[in-house]
Amino acid sequence: MIWLFEVARWAAASVLVISGLLKLGRSEQLYRSLGELGLPAALLRQNWMKTVIAPSFSYAEITIGLGMLLVPTRVFPLLAAVFFAVFLWVVASAVFKGREASCDCFGGYGGDKVSAATIARNAGLLSIALLGLAAAPAPAVFAAQQWGPWAGILSVFLPLAIAVGLVYWRARTARKKTQNLVDSLVLRDVNGESLELREFFDPPTYLVFFSPTCSACHNLVERFRWWPHAVAEGFDLQPVFIGKPEDFERMPEYAPLLPYAWYDHGSAVATAMGRNGTPGAVRIDAQHPLGEEWKIGAYEIEQYVVRPGFFEQYEAGRETP
């Protein structure tokens, strides 16, 4: 029977180590999933939830998991059981309330949306964690006693190796997915001729997006006409109108840019780049084919694309528009 308890403790510990390692660098996704799962909005608005709890979550999982593997005490298995029980309750509540929520389980490997299968999986994890409470020595100690030091080392190394392999596979899959997406994206000129997005990578290009239904975009056109002279050397700047030329022709404020703008039919490019409002801007290049971060609002965009000191130099007569 001791074998069953040791295997259960090792399995629960391995799940925590792997899950924690897969969540490293994904605190934003985890924070977002907490809101989707139904944590109170008042709690989520607390700054420490985003800056402390979410980034620390993965490290807590890793610490508990390694403690279960290495330290001959029942404290860590008990913490694991509490962890799995709380998470089971949160997931079950979200499913029973019909929430469309992602748990970011296993750093995105656990499925897009929580479901009855997620409940069953977490119930199983809670069960093996409870079984692991009965294990006297830690699995690494037990393995070393049974087969020698190499077995103890292997019991710790194996979950770490699995996690590293999954991280590599996830990154490789994400790169391939991004590559396929980028290959499908085009912008069109006023005559409908298409140009692949990758043609804007060299030199690195700021794409500034305008929407026909956005009043702030209408007001930005005149200001935008200064920016091509103010971009830092080695960079390009291009206006992108979300839609087709006829969507903008009826608005006279867009007339100066209509012949020179690029058009994002169906908002495919803006959506791929994480559009969350307009006017918006991203900078793209070969290393960041979909941009790094969507900038929104006239002030933020101007700070992003205009080289420091341009307007001060213009007012002093050292720059011309």
DSSP string, 49-84: IIIIIHHHHHHHHHHHHHHHHH--SSHHHHHHHHHH
Cβ partners under 8 Å of residue 237, min gap 6: 205, 206, 208, 227, 228, 231, 305
Alpha-carbon span 216 to 116, nearest angstrom: 45
CB atoms closer than 10 angstroms to residue 38: 14
Alpha-carbon span 47 to 49, nearest angstrom: 5
Dihedral (Cα; 92, 97, 98, 101), 10-degree rounding: -60
Q: Which helix (H) or strand (E) is 150 found in, with range?
A: helix 149-184
pLDDT of residue 307: 85
Quick one: residue 271, left, alpha or beta (phi over 0 = left, psi -120 to 50 = alpha)? alpha
pLDDT of residue 134: 87
Encoded tokens for 199: 């043609």
Is-contact 234 252, C-beta < 8 A? no
Neighbour-count burial of 243, counting CB atoms closer than 10 A to its CB (0-12 exposed, 13-18 middle, 19+ buried): middle
pLDDT of residue 110: 60
Dihedral (Cα; 141, 146, 151, 153), 10-degree rounding: 20
**Residues of the chain with confidence (pLDDT) below 50:** 320
- pLDDT digit string, tens, across residues 255-301: 999 999 999 999 999 999 988 789 999 999 999 999 988 999 988 99
pLDDT of residue 136: 75
CB atoms closer than 10 angstroms to residue 190: 17
Longest CA–CA separation in the chain, Å: 85
CATH architecture of 187-315: 3-Layer(aba) Sandwich (3.40)
pLDDT of residue 218: 87
Is-contact 306 245, C-beta < 8 A? no
- pLDDT digit string, tens, across residues 29-62: 888 888 888 888 888 888 888 888 889 999 999 9
pLDDT of residue 277: 85
Alpha-carbon span 263 to 254, nearest angstrom: 13
pLDDT of residue 314: 60
Is-contact 125 12, C-beta < 8 A? yes
Q: Which helix (H) or strand (E) is 187 found in, with range?
A: strand 186-188
DSSP secondary structure of 238-300: EEEEES-HHHHHT-GGGTTTTTT-EEEGGGHHHHHTT--SSSEEEEE-SS-TT-S--EESHHH
**Residue ranges covered by each domain of the chain:** 2-181, 187-315
> Quick one: how far is CA 111 from the chain centroid?
15
